[in-house]
Structure 1
């Protein structure tokens, strides 16, 4: 029997019309393939599935009243076999576990999951109760039946090969306990064939085939309604899932954009307040009466002497350094420090936003007044630092997330538009 990974096998390549849906819901490839099967289907599809040599092909031949499928005591069905009869597509799946490489399992399970409207799960009575893998597959099929409405009938075959009715009864009772409420059909293809050939009506009835045929006929009559339900279900589930994905993406996008706007406002407002504060402090530095002594050059004899010019230059430099320290701390708090890669130079010490905006030249009173005390100077600093704020790594990453989320939202809208109305898969 197949392991869990083979219970719903990989689907074939889907047409381009599902590309947008698959981009958002790749795990729905099986449902999309099923919708394609339903769109192309005409006759109801009945698939017989079960382990190798459990009488699947022989059962189909009896249901069709002709030898349409090959029967042998060795592995005979190695590919999915098909025959149309009485307005029904009958599929004979390869025996599960007959092929060590698992190719038969994949053929069989593809037919079960993608093609079938009704599944006949066959188990030979002589094998006793179901093994663990058979039970697991039946449980999976039962869950799918509850979800989609597709029916699974459990057929216990080769009843004639048991020692007596008591032995058969014990096996059937054990299987019924394993799959409670499933409704077992106990049949003998051999008895049915003999009954027909010899004209023995009682033997035909004892074969269990007529009762199975009546149940199958009722199930076949329900196929159109079940198909309509399944189409509506699959499309509805995918629409609901896409709607949920879209809501999440829209909420994330709105949150990211709000975060981006809040961070920019916090930066702008904080920097504006800081520059105003620095400007007020600088007024005390640059408002001294008289000429700017810092501009007076030292003579040779004053090289090592303490002069008024040196003291003034030191005072101005201390004030400027304090302003730079405050600005640098503010920028670091908002993730603004290094220059973008394309703006960096070989001198690593120069690759900072502070150097790029403030420069490396010596500052005097007029420079400080122009930069910090006058509105145009503060506006220039505001714009320059804001430029590098937008180029910072954190803001670039935030923009990338916004772009990705917006793209995901657009992809979801395209996927919703790609889903057809319920009535037209």
Structure 2
């Protein structure tokens, strides 16, 4: 199924699997790169998180106003990781920004960092829906819920928010980690190992590096799952078409039989009259 695949035909015949087919096509056509996509609502700290992970404070624009309107990519040749910063969700009324972000997570992502700013409280309804939809295309092990700005809350406030969020996503079985980009860069500036440790950025890097280590196996499993899903759906579609064909043939047969009966009745009636 890997070679000479007509993806346009697949998407036409299996529209409910459009995202999976796009991902399957991407995996067949692109090199073995490990893509980490940062995803979440507007102004929750996605770009500043990426800057911390890259240790480049100003690489990705991180401002209060909406600046990221298309996917931005950084290829780290040292680690082999391709970092993708996506526009904030629900910020563009036209939905164009969301289209770019959703394309990145469904087609390109090997690992998704779903970012939520704990300063605003627990996850809102839209964020829960985003996470639920992601799990239709990705395994929970391919998503890390990153809670940012933990330094902006008092310890008791943060504990309450964290507990609420934990209850919200309990059934989703996601990895969760709390970080502070502000503490991280202050730690670098002041050469403070304590502040660096409290930022939890290095812990997040360890999690990502572990995913990178498991990358080939996880991608192979994902590829096989996609192949099975598409093949099974095609077979089901073929059976559906065959069944419809049989029904149509049966209908035609009954029409032909009824027509013969009607013709015979008409002939008999004419013969009686003459």
TM-score, normalised to structure 1's length?
0.57
- Match of residue 205, structure 1, among 194, 197, 208: 197
Q: 1:265 to 1:88 in 2, by over 3 A?
A: same
- Match of residue 8, structure 2, among 19, 27, 41: 19
Which stretches of structure 1, 4 residues or longer, exceed 4 Å deviation after superposition? 261-275
Cα deviation for residue 189 of structure 1 reads 0.7
- Match of residue 159, structure 1, among 146, 150, 156: 150
Cα deviation for residue 38 of structure 1 reads 1.4
- Gaps in structure 1 of 5+ consecutive residues: 1-14, 279-320, 326-362, 364-425
Q: 1:272 to 1:75 in 2, by over 3 A?
A: closer
Q: Alpha carbon RMSD of aligned pairs, Å?
A: 2.7
CA distance in 2, matches of 1:95, 1:50: 6
1:187 and 1:207 in contact (8 A); partners too: yes
CA distance in 1, matches of 2:264, 2:182: 94
Structure 1 counterpart of 2:218 = 226
1:68 and 1:83 in contact (8 A); partners too: no
- Match of residue 271, structure 2, among 307, 323, 326: 323
CA distance in 1, matches of 2:254, 2:118: 72
Q: 1:167 to 1:269 in 2, by over 3 A?
A: closer
Structure 1 counterpart of 2:138 = 145
Cα deviation for residue 270 of structure 1 reads 8.4
1:46 and 1:118 in contact (8 A); partners too: yes
3-state SS, counterpart of residue 49 of structure 1: strand
Q: Does 1:175 align with 2:155?
A: no
Cα deviation for residue 260 of structure 1 reads 3.8
CA distance in 2, matches of 1:32, 1:100: 27
Structure 2 counterpart of 1:31 = 20
CA distance in 2, matches of 1:142, 1:272: 63
Per-residue CA distance 1:165-215 (angstroms, 9 max, x = gap): 122111111111111143321111111112223222221111111211111
Cα deviation for residue 261 of structure 1 reads 4.4
1:57 and 1:71 in contact (8 A); partners too: yes
Per-residue CA distance 1:49-89 (angstroms, 9 max, x = gap): 12222211111111112242122232222221110112111
- Gaps in structure 2 of 5+ consecutive residues: none
User: How many residues are treated as equivalent by the alignment?
Assistant: 265
2:21 and 2:230 in contact (8 A); partners too: no
Cα deviation for residue 118 of structure 1 reads 0.8
Greater share of residues in strand: 2
